[in-house]
Amino acid sequence: MVTPRSRSGRSRRCRRLLSLFYLDWSSPRCADDCASAAATAGRDVAIGGAAAKSSLGLAAAAFVASLSSFQFGYATGILNVPQRIITTDLGLDKDSISWAVVVSIWALGGLLGAQVAAVVADSRGRRPLLALSGLTCGTSGLVAFCAGTASLAAGPESVGGRSALCLLVLSRFISGGGCGMATVAAPLYLGEIATTETRGALGSLAQLSVVVAIVVAQGLAALITHHLGLHWRLVLGLPAFIGAAQLALLPLLPETPRYLLSRGLAQGGEARGEARGEARGEARGEAREALRLLRPRGGQASEAVEAELAALEQELGAGAGGGGRRGVLLLWRDSPSLRLPLLNAAAMMVGQQLSGINAVFYYSTTFFSSAGLDSPVAGTLLASAVNVLAMLASSAMMECAGRRRLLLPLGSISAVGIGGMFLSSVGVTAALIGKARASAHHEDDWSLNWLSVSFVLCFVIAFELGPGPIPWQIGAEIFPEHARAAAMSAAAALNWVCNAAVGLGFPAMSSALGSLVFLPFAAVLLLWLLFTARFTPETRGRSVDEIQVEFRRLAALGSRKPARAEGDGVPLSSIRQPQG
């Protein structure tokens, strides 16, 4: 039970955190929203309370599922620090097309993995998809270790050296396949085991695992290859152990109750007579057992489980008229009400990847070297550490502020979200232009070097305080059951296409544009900002049905007036699903 003292304490903590970024805390409505969110969070995830102690099943399931996101983050950051050493061993130039292929082939594998994910998630379940992702990422670690061994056995110009390069490319492609599945599996699983009140916290866990993994990858690479002088195959082979650990733990996890019920409804719809009732009854029993493993025990736990089970059945039954699971093109053609959610998911993924964030993650060591830092590796590690701290702040604010306010806070001047990234990219461009002019006059202004680095760090902070975690978790919130896996898979595939474009094209773009290299990213961010302000609703604390009603309201408004977020004068009760 949450006392008034604990509720007000949580509200004060949220207010202190949010006040770092918002200037309108004098608004009573904003304080009330935070207090309400704090009370809800305290009731459902009371950290340190009895509920938290009895929810070990949920914590364990979330941890094991987040290992897939950890693999994704590890693969994202692992090539940055040892880039010079690997290219030297393989006889490559760090700016060569061969190295760009090593970096970007990972995204091509991710595109394929994201497409496989939808089929596996719908036909086999969410947990088997996590297992397949872990197995694939583990295999990529073994192949990368073999690539390093081959590079040790022969010189870079020999047949063995070319074999090492081919094995490294193959390992990156396999890793991309596993990570492509992970980008669907982890948010989907976490979103479906969470309660409505904890969706934000569990949804941000996937992105938190990614940024922690980036720091771990770059820290281990710096320690093993730069300080200890050991071979890079050791750090590239680590995913094999992570995958093995995840495969060993996955049998302890339940399948998501939502998937079990939806499968029972589908099987019951195909059966006749008594078989239909038996199929649905069996699915209901399996879902009940899964909920008991994932929810607090004792007290009124049984009643809470039955109430949640009934709500899930009602929601899935209401969405049963969606015509079954279909591809995203058929969803677009046959379901006009899903077009705006699909556009939102697409805009989120395109905006996230073409914002330029992966240009920082992939090539930060090269960027910091050109910026004049004495230790570019230290600059990369600093950026990754800032990334983690910002993500921790985002996780704390997700349920207090809501998704929309973290993307574009309304009624205040904000240094976070899409707007913060846009301002930072303009700042980086201005600093790089100043540095280029100073170089043309044979001057070395260290203040411009540090100014460009500072703007890059601000860019990373703004990314993690909204645009980083929200696109991955919003798909599990805005789509009904029959469309969720297909829509999230299509969105992930689009994300991987843009990821590959940045990974492959940034070196050429940097050479062509020079100090103006961040301007295209700024243009994308501005377009994303305008789209989000107009067409993206708040999803915090709302059911799928309520969010769908809000999307229909936004679509019907046309261009008459801008959309309003939750808390901007539109009471939640006014957008409830109409009866009858």
Is the model more confident about 426 or about 159? 426
- Cα separation, 425 vs 388, in Å, equals 20
* pLDDT higher than threshold 60 for residue 562: no
43: confidence class by pLDDT, cuts 50, 70, 90: very low
Cα torsion 135, 139, 141, 144 to 10°: value is: -160
**Average pLDDT value over all residues in the chain:** 78
What pLDDT is recorded for position 554?
Answer: 85
DSSP 8-state class, residue 250: G
What is the rounded average pLDDT of the residues 420-426? 91
Please compute the mean of the pLDDT values over residues 281-302 and round it to a whole number. Answer: 84
- How far apart are the C-alpha atoms of 26 and 9, rounded to whole Å? 18
Q: What is the mean pLDDT of residues 393-418?
A: 71
Longest dimension (CA), the chain: 86
> pLDDT category, 318, cuts 50, 70, 90?
low
**Overall average pLDDT of the 221-239 stretch:** 92
State which of 141-155, 259-273, 475-489, 519-533 shows the largest mean pLDDT: 519-533
Chain CA centroid to CA 337, Å = 25
The pTM is what? 0.72
Q: pLDDT tens digits, residue range 366-401?
A: 777 766 666 777 777 888 888 888 888 877 777 677
Q: What does the pLDDT read at residue 33? A: 44
Q: What pLDDT is stored for residue 158 in this prediction? A: 58
> What domains appear along the chain, each with residue ranges and CATH number?
56-253+334-549 (1.20.1250.20), 254-313 (no CATH)
CA 212 to chain centroid: 12
Distance, C-alpha 370 to centroid of its chain:
30
The whole-number pLDDT of residue 323 equals: 52
Segment 273-301 mean pLDDT: 81
Which residues does 91 contact at the CB level (< 8 Å), separation at least 6?
155, 156, 157, 161
Three-state SS annotation for 306-365: HHHHHHHHHHHHHHHHHCCCCCHHHHHHHCHHHHHHHHHHHHHHHHHHCCCHHHHHHHHH
Q: Residue 95 carries which DSSP code?
A: T
Residue 63's pLDDT is 94
* Calpha distance 179→234 (Å, rounded): 20
pLDDT tens-digit profile of 195-210? 877 777 787 788 889 9
pLDDT band at 26 (very low <50, low <70, confident <90, very high): very low
Which of these ranges, 347-361, 465-479, 555-569, has the smallest mean pLDDT?
555-569
Measured at the CA of 331, the angle between CA 329 and CA 333, to 5 degrees, comes to 70
> DSSP 3-state assignment of 548?
helix
Lowest mean pLDDT segment, chosen from 175-184, 238-247, 396-405, 553-562: 553-562
**Higher model confidence: residue 419 or residue 275?**
419
Q: How many C-alpha atoms does 446 have within 13 Å on its Cβ side?
A: 2
Is 90 exceeded by the pLDDT of residue 456?
no
Regarding predicted confidence, which is higher, 97 or 219? 219
Predicted pLDDT at 125: 92
Q: Could you say which DSSP state residue 125 is in?
A: -
What pLDDT is recorded for position 67? 95
Model confidence pLDDT, tens digit, residues 239-262: 999 999 999 999 989 999 999 988
For residues 144 and 79, the answer to whether their CB atoms sit within 8 Å is no
